[in-house]
Amino acid sequence: MSRTDSPKPEEVLQGAAAAPGVAIGPAVCLRGHGVEVLRVPIQTSDLDREGERFRAAVGAVEAELEATENRIAETFGSDLASIFHAHSVILRDSSFARRIDQMIRSDRVNAEWAVQAVADDLGEKFAQVKSQHLRERGEDLRDVTRYLLRALAGKRSSPGIGKDFDRSVVVVSHELTPDEVLRLGRRGAVGFAIEVGGANSHTAIVSRALDVPLITGIADITNRVADDDPVIVDGEDGRLTLHPTPETLDQYRNLQRRRRQSEEALSSAARDLPARTVDGAEVELLANVELPEELDDVRRFGASGIGLYRSEFLVLDRSPELPSEEDHVAVVRQLLEALAPQPVVVRTLDLGGGKVARGLVPQDEENPVLGQRGIRFTLARADIFRTQLRALFRAAPLGNLRILAPMVTAVEEIRALRRLCDEVCAELEAEGAAYRRDVQLGAMVEVPAAVLIARQLAEEVDFLSIGTNDLIQYTLAVDRTNEHVADLYQPLHPAVLSMIQLVVEAGRRQQVPVALCGEVAASLECVPLLLGLGLRELSMSPRGIPRVKEVVRSLDICDAEELARRCVAASTAEEVEELLGAAGATVAHHRVPVRAG
């Protein structure tokens, strides 16, 4: 990584820690949606050929869009297909293509540059118009631009990033969506540094799942870091070191080694120990997983099952095509068979909000996080929901399956889900298919409405699971992905603690188990408080389990209850934090910040 010409001075850029770990490597900057756009001068004699290249790319994208449109129309109907049709319309718009063609000739530039320049110009105009309809066309234009750039690069123009890496790189970008992180991580990216987003976003959650360090909130990073610049991502402290000196590199390599060793030591020491407090209270420590490849971690870090499988990642992974019933069965079977008789809680598709599978959920929502998300989406798209439910009941005989509904705000939603389950099971019965009906059904408690009707919900379900990531967002009216209000996203806010307390009490009265599966479950500072509030089931990223187990094993429930009483009576998050500190609860500093920002 060292350069022979005069070395550039080391520079440290500060952002927010979002996924722990250290990554060292050359940077790859994603601009133009993952396709590098360079201005290449074209000789006059080659201009015709460049124009041809552009038209060939248009032809390739057109053919692909048409095929996708037909496939989607056949399977899901014309509404969904119309998205791809809108893309085709832009592509066929002769003035768009003509402007690009003209620019190639007048400026003697490569097709990629002309495509990006024309699209940027039009994009600015679209952004300024008042009409929502036209603004959406701006989004379509961006997609078409991306398809064209990818076709020019000789790649299939599927949505998402398809860049392959031949070495371990750190990806630097303005932003990354959860599915982009997924794809890039699987293609060998070892670290991420982005300008926007918070530590509680799904982008961060996927990054942690892949064990790829991520820093968010580094202003203007795409202009400060160039391709191949040597960088170090410190996902523990949210620091990006640009052009590190040999000493800094050594320091970080040592840190990487120590981290691996201590993780291995801790996981093998803790794996077989019970998660039991000093005074004998048993606690279930389960794993949150997004991808089946995390199964190894689930076992390695000693989880007692899966407390949350975010099934929507299967959809994001395959978007714009939907997973088939067989795809769902295959993944759930893998989880169940690997862990039986331990429980596997499969959350039904939580699409919408931040997890937009383009073409599936409505694109015209002003406030998608308050829109058709979670159970609202699946009930509105019963065709998609049935496919998943059929798969779940078919896979159920293979292990200990539980089904969890996300974003529940009303009892009617649970009743509608139960009706669908009945219908699907009747169908399977009539077909003579192997299935199992007696699967436990649960509701996620992620919005204040669900907290306030926790008693009524508990009467309808077999278990509740508190999703604090969203509960904090909706209780405090703080967007969990917005770095500008990250300091207001306070897991220890007294309102949040009261919410948790209300749910635990409702569950206790109705004798319905209550789990907690938000990121706070892995916050070592919060664990004594959560146990003190009465929780006995915590689900978290598998890597967090050994340290949480260590805390659990050092606790006395009476002390934890006393601590919780005092915390609930506090007036501010800061007071709660002080109480936790004073109680000596901070065994070590887990990466999930108690107060983000």
Tell me 30's DSSP state. Answer: E
CB nearer Mg ion, residue 359 or residue 467: 467
Which residue sits closest to Mg ion, CB atoms considered?
A: 470
By the rule CB under 6 A, 517 interacts with ligand PEP: yes
Position 350, amino acid: D
What is the C-alpha to C-alpha distance for residues 337 and 340, in angstroms, rounded to an integer? Answer: 6
Tokens 């004798």 identify what position?
511
Instruction: Pick the closest to residue 468 from 524, 522, 509, 414 (CA basis).
Output: 522
* Ranges within 199-218 binding ligand PEP (CB under 6 A): 205
Looking at 80-88, 229-237, 438-446, 576-584, which segment touches Mg ion (CB under 5 A)? 438-446
Structure tokens at 98: 């003509």
Q: Does 310 bind ligand PEP (CB under 6 A)?
A: yes
Active site residue 202: yes
Residue 468 binding target from Mg ion, ligand PEP, none, CB below 5 to 8 Å by type: ligand PEP
Task: Considering only the stretches 160-168, 316-324, 446-454, 495-503, report the one whose residues sit in contact with Mg ion under the rule CB under 5 A.
Answer: 446-454
Candidates 268, 305, 310; CA nearest to 467 is 310
Which of 179, 284, 460, 470 touches ligand PEP (CB under 6 A)?
A: 470
| CB closer to ligand PEP, 152 vs 506 | 506
CA distances from 28 to 179, 256, 398 (A): 18, 21, 43
Amino acid type, 359 = G
If one asks whether residue 470 binds Mg ion (CB under 5 A), the answer comes out as yes
Alpha-carbon distance of 450 to 461, in angstroms, equals 13
List the interface residues with ligand PEP, window 427-446 (CB under 6 A). Answer: 446
Residue in 372, 469, 481, 523 binding ligand PEP, rule: CB under 6 A: 469
Contacted by 518, from ligand PEP, Mg ion, none: CB < 5 to 8 Å by type: ligand PEP
| 284 interacts with, out of ligand PEP, Mg ion, none, CB within 5 to 8 A per kind | none
Q: Per-residue b/e over 40-49, b at no fewer than 16 CB within 10 Å?
A: eebeeeebee
Give the binding range for Mg ion (CB under 5 A) out of 156-164, 276-284, 338-346, 464-472: 464-472
- Minimal distance in Å, beta carbon 201 to ligand PEP? 9
Closest Cα to residue 146, out of 111, 115, 179, 183? 115
Shortest Cβ 75–ligand PEP spacing (Å): 26
The gap from C-alpha 492 to its chain's centroid, in whole angstroms, comes to 23
Q: Is 467 in the site for Mg ion (CB under 5 A)?
A: yes
Per CB under 6 A, which region of 56-64, 256-264, 324-332, 462-470 contacts ligand PEP? 462-470
Mark the segment that binds ligand PEP (CB under 6 A) among 58-66, 245-253, 317-325, 461-469. Answer: 461-469
Please give the Cα distance from 85 to 357 (Å, whole number). 17
Q: Does the active-site annotation cover 29?
A: no
Residue 163's beta-bridge partner residues?
none
Residues touching ligand PEP, count (CB under 6 A): 11
Does residue 255 sit in helix, strand or coil?
helix
Angle among Cα 520, 526, 529 to the nearest 5 degrees reads 125
**How far is residue 302's CA from residue 274's CA, in Å, rounded to a whole number?**
10
CB of 298 to ligand PEP, least distance (A): 16
**Closer CB to ligand PEP, residue 241 or residue 539?**
539
Q: Which one of the listed residues 29, 33, 87, 202 is annotated catalytic? A: 202
d(CA 370, CA 477) in angstroms, rounded, equals: 11
Report the catalytic residues.
202, 517
For Mg ion, the binding residues (CB under 5 A) are 446, 467, 470
